[in-house]
Amino acid sequence: MSDKIRKTEAEWRAELTPEQYRITREGGTEMAFSGEYYHHDGQGVYRCVCCDAPLFDSEHKYESGSGWPSFWLPLADESIDELHDVSHGMQRTEIRCAHCDAHLGHVFNDGPRPTGLRYCVNSASLKFQVK
């Protein structure tokens, strides 16, 4: 995406809670089984907490047992950017919001059919909009 939302560190800090900032702007992770949307089962769209971009539909959310909200498909391929991540001694694929570069979590190849993917997302990087 060419027209990414760009803000200064001060602007992001003013708009986000300290936990949202740590996760979305610094690449942090919330504690497993602690996030607001881990057991959430409402019908709607999960949006980026930083820029309000639609990211995941509740119809694609499932219980993975991982401790984080998990989805088997993003709302649209162009909503998510994937980056190779070798932090913490692991090789993973980081997922970010394509609109503002917010760190969302990681995607793994151990999800359910039909995609076989598990988009493992921090609740603090999301906000929910009822359909």
Give me the half-sphere count of Cα atoms (radius 13 Å) on the Cβ side of residue 121. 38
Tracing tokens 């539909």 back to the chain, one arrives at: 57
pLDDT of residue 87: 72
Q: Which residues contact 89 (CB under 8 A, 6 or more apart)?
A: none
% of the chain beyond a pLDDT of 70: 97
* 15-41 tens-digit pLDDT: 999 999 999 999 999 999 999 999 999
- The pTM (predicted TM-score) of the whole model is 0.93
pLDDT of residue 2: 57
Domain 9-130 -> CATH class: mainly beta
Residue ranges, the chain, pLDDT below 70? 1-2, 86, 88
Give the ranges where the chain is alpha helix by DSSP (H).
9-15, 18-24
Active site residues: 120
Domain limits of the chain? 9-130
pLDDT of residue 88: 64
